[in-house]
Structure 1
Amino acid sequence: MKIIKTKLVILFLCLSGIIVNGQSRRVADKYFEEFAYFKAAKIYEAVYQKGDTTTYLLKRLGDAYYNNSQTENAEFWYKKLIEDKKEKDPSYLFKYSQVLRSNGSVQKADSIYNLLKITIDSQSGEKYVNKENNLQDFLNNGDKKISLRNLAINTPYSDFGGVIFEDKVYFASASPKGEKREKLYRWNNQPFLNLYKSDSYFERVDEAKTDSIFELENKTILSPGINTQFHESSPVFTKDGKTMYFSRVNFNGKKLGKDKKLTVNLKLFKAERVGDDWGNVEELPFNSDDYSVAHPALSPDGKSLYFASDMPGTLGETDIFKVEIKEDGFGEPVNLGKNVNTTAKEMFPFISDDNVLFFSSNGHKGLGLLDIFQTKIYNDSTYSQITNLDHPFNSKKDDFSFFIAKDGKKGFFSSNRAKGKGDDDIYSFYITEIPESERCYQYVTGVVTDKVTKERIPNAIVKLVDDLGTVLEEKLTDSRGSYNFKLECKQENYVVIADKRDYRNPDKKNISVLGKNKDERYTADLVLDPLIIGDQIVIKPIYFDYDKDFIREDAQYELENIVTVMTNHPKMVIKIESHTDSRGAKSYNRNLSDRRAKSTRDFIISRGIEPERIESAIGYGEDKLLNHCDDKNSKKCTEEEHQLNRRSYFYIVRGKEVSIDNVKPTVIDKKGYNNQKDMLEKLNKFKANKTKKLRSKSENDKCFKEDNDCGK
């Protein structure tokens, strides 16, 4: 009886712990769903310490810190989720790779990102693969110097969004107003944002007085007519100075508006100039309680208003939209489309006087979390390729709220990067020209050659790529197969990549310029392996498992090369020959090789190649063994030797003109290895015309075997 009582007490204590844990987690869930991430994280951690290590809890803990940009804490919990629990959800692989990169673990971030790309092949995760982009070149760091300053008006709280209007700079700050019972924003446990203005001035920072810093002073809060007890931010002004647009939470002066989930969203408002102040505040007609509309920006002609929103029609988490400003109101909001927006976050738009759209995104490939990007807006409302502003504007953390003045020299952006004063800080920048005599350049040169012919390859594509995979520049090799790049003197690593149609995989070389000198030159010669030699498409043999006819994964990779060549040469027609090893009856092996040929043919057709472009797909059974493993010696052979005979080959029947001088056929000796020397000697005997269509394989084989002068 005593034992039974003891067991009941233990069971009661265990159940009590589960109940308490469940109650605590529900409380944390409520805070989380109300965006009170600071409080939610603390309770989730207490629940974890009591034994709840479920994937649900780890996701919530990681997200609570991720949403507050506390990337070190987010990495700790995402690591447990991804590495301990083996979570494969693309959204969490994406976020884990982001926080790793933000925290400086670039190689590990790349490894997780590669796992993400593999995962999306079998899941609906394409939206988490970053769009590629180029680096910004309108601020060419080679001939300009960019001076940054963490502004004196920054506080330990969130400060962001400087814009110049008349002789003042306007921005948002969560610094305390000095009230006795000031409200706190539960998302980050800071005071709510208010709008401020400051005076600006220049400060010379070197003896030569060539380096200027743009600084602010005399911080003043805007009137209660604009600021409320909740958030205001992101002001923008019309050129006539009569109207200010800004963001505010869904608050009408008396109560907060909420959606069905009790979420308080953001809205856009406009105010009119009233003397030296602002008043007559009203919200814009396309706002809604059900979604957020925020971060306004005006086109240079003042006819369009840009903003960020998660309204219906959004491609991702938040997109950038624009709406026409009419005399009697506004048009219908229009999404900027897939060139600008991704399925992640795009926000904080700004349009410069020369019609360049700047915005922040974590969906385009960047240096860390939110990065600043730019694209030129054309007259037909299309956009140039997205480019990343790179250092010093972007960092491993969040970078956003970019603004550049009319003179194109000074401006602001905001960041929570390392060595700041607190949360988000405002940084000023000032751009000065560097005299030509002081500019620093380095050079990368090289040649691209054919691996088989050893000849240089003209018109090969050569790309210069940074260590994040961003294409900096792209060129074609000249008639001698040469290329060259002129680099700004940055402390960076680069990769040079060469590629051309009808060649196998691109070749690449790593170039490090860390700590190198001005005018230093680097050589990176590249070699490409041809996909076509003579009348044969050159790929590694496509092997089959014993007594099987399905296309293995390693064979699929090689077959994609066939598809690439045939796509590049739409008139090309090929034939397929498949083979078996010697084990089994000859009639059975003939049938098996036919099935292998058919499987090979079907795969190529499934990739979009027309059936009529495959003249035949024939199996030869064990008639054409590559080695000594015939019926007599079969039992003496290893499985690796038998494997060499279970293969498919591909031959061009017509549709490919090649130069005889460039033909160096590959043959396979009885051991299955490449042996070209003797064949090249015989090939020289029938070179005649510089360019002609090659004979069929059977005709060439006859020439080689009989040692005839087939060139005639």
Structure 2
Amino acid sequence: MKIKILALVIILSSSFAFAQTKLADKFFENYGYVKAIELYEKAVEKGKSDAHVLTRLGDAYYNNSNSEKAVYWYGKALAEHKNIEAEYIYKYIQSLRSVGNYEEADVWFKKLSEAQQGDSRLKGYDPDETDLFDKLTSKNDDIIVSIENLEFNSENSDFGSYVHGNTLYIASSRSDDNKVYSWNKEPFLDIYQIEIKDEDEGHQSYGSPALINADDINTDYHEASIAITNDGKTMYFTRDNTNKRNRLKYDKEGTTHLQIYKATLVGEQWTDIKSLPFNDDYFSTGHPALSRDNKTLYFVSDREGGFGQTDIYSVEINDDGTYGTPVNLGEDINTEGREMFPFISKDNTFYFSSDGHLNLGLLDIFKSNILTGEATTDPVNIGAPFNSGYDDFAYFIDNDTEKGYFSSNRPEGKGGDDIYSFSITECNQQITGVVREARTDIILSDVTVQLIDETGKIIEETTTQEDGVYIFDVECDQTYTILGSKPDYKNDKGTVTTSNENEKTNTLDLTLTPLLKDNQIVINPIYFDFDKSNIRTDAEYELENIVDVLRKHSEMVIKIESHTDSRGRDKYNMKLSDRRAKSTRDYIISRGIDASRIVSAIGYGESQLLNECSNGVKCSEEEHQLNRRSYFYIINR
């Protein structure tokens, strides 16, 4: 007998836990994470700790940004169950990192890498999953990049922007000199300076290009690609190798190479031009770039010992003005192709152009974190719209303004190479609305409004004031759920999908239905299976509104009435409705409400119909449904 009783207890406990899980799932799917957590944890107490419950608990805490609890439940799921989906392992790793447990996160990161080879989050790019060109040309809807072909571009080549103070320096072959370069049949390049004027309605304006203030920087041959020290007193620039009489110097094969020169600012003139000691007559050295502290000079060269056609090197600048030994940046940066036009931004990001790394065609602009030592030095293609199927190079950005320049020979330009300005802004929109009461349309204050992303994670929360207004700043091209809640009211929610139009305002009003009306707690109808009196999951979901009201109003006392339609025998309906009323009462008590607060739970069968659908009257299902109802009368508040 004891065995039978024990077995019955186990069966009842298991049944209860199963019901709790189904109800918890209902709340979870409707973003009711706090309630879902309560129910899932209650199910665990009753012995239900399968992978579904444990990972759902992890998700509920994860979506509510409670990393400590998420770590606990994900960890428990992984410890007790095999073959947990990789998605939960990833969230476990994220939660571990969130609480600073990097060592354990790394252990699981390795396990995930072994179990989930090709996961784009692990490698950044999965060639089996994502087409390279689609990825590089796809628009990032999180940011807006505005690109402009600048008004001062000429019909010839203009490139290599560099800003110091309010002056923009460029290389241009716009000269009207009859002497032309055989490569492109354009005049030789000179260095020009252009005044950057105050912004006009968000757009910068520019003065007219003028030759740089120097007596002997520009020659009859090429000058381009400059870098200026922080104090503005020293300039490095590229020039054809010339002798003291400014005539070209050639190697034994009759080739003239590039060299880097240094100039000093005296007053407003650049003078004292000197060739750097690591130049040579037998290979090219050019495209100078300075580190942020001006202690390292980066440059491009085709000298022997490199990896490809042109490589990027660095050389130390000593305090006494001398230079160290040039060092190749290595195979992480350099390839068998061309690496050119290095630039170091204020945030210490290393930019350069290459046709040797995977690209959209010809030179593309890449970035690397070799200067910060973070994560990996593998270059990242910065993608469209900066890169195209043509040469894209000479990237310059001011991190303070997120504005900059790059050069390209894309066909929509004015000349051979053109200079494009760009500005980077995040694409943002707003979601706003007013919360009102459903029955009276009055504005509601003190409503908690949550912003929920597509994964179900609550990312922001606000409370309405007297005007009932809520406002969220959101990202473009995303789908959000807005959930409004207030004690003694039913929740309301809606969905908004943002576009990629910057600064658009999306409107979504919410209406909350009060649970208290006159002397009743009013909820949606609770349904029973035919000829049954047990509480279904959808009924439990509605009854939780009753539980919430009774918890908030600790002195409230109620009575329950249950009614049926006229179908079936009168006496049977009376008994059936009474069983349903008492099942409803028992469920509320099982949720922790004291039994003394429910003075009665009585069924009235079909004795109090709301319409003419009595015995023998043909009525629609909707008309019969009107009579199948439960009331929750407030006896004492």
Which TM-score band applies after superposition, normalised by the shorter structure?
0.3 to 0.5
What is the TM-score of this pair, normalised by structure 2? 0.45
